[in-house]
Amino acid sequence: FYPLDFTFVCPTEILAFNDRIEEFRTIGAEVVAASVDSHFTHLAWVNTPRKDGGLGTLSIPLLSDMTHKISKDYGVYLSDVGHSLRGLFIIDNRGILRQITMNDLPVGRSVDETLRLVQAFQYTDMHGEVCPAK
């Protein structure tokens, strides 16, 4: 989840994940970005070139949560401002929620750490061992 389209931090996160999507797909993971903006706003953002503050062509989907239901269900919706926190959820291939990261609005998320976490969960599932931070 990300707060809003056409903002400053959000495109840096989306483009960072998008630019490394093949690394996620190689390990059997997908990335979906969601905000409370409409699909029309998403389309306008994707159709705006990066140099003009847009996203340009993406390889990851942008989900529209205009009713705020999904954001509320995941606990990231901020009713006082009408959009979500930066929420990242790792859900494994069995549908089990393995990890939650929620950042306050000014701080973006790390693609490297997300990849490390997905790989760590896959490793521990496969080998039945623990995975230290380093």
Buried b / exposed e across 76-86, counting CB within 10 Å, b at 16+? Answer: bbeeeeebbbb
Identify whether 131 is a catalytic site residue. no
Three-state secondary-structure class, residue 98: strand
Neighbours of 109 (CB within 10 A): 19
Residue type at position 4: L
- CA dist 11 and 20 (Å) reads 14
Catalytic member of 2, 5, 10, 84: 10
**Which residues carry out catalysis?**
10
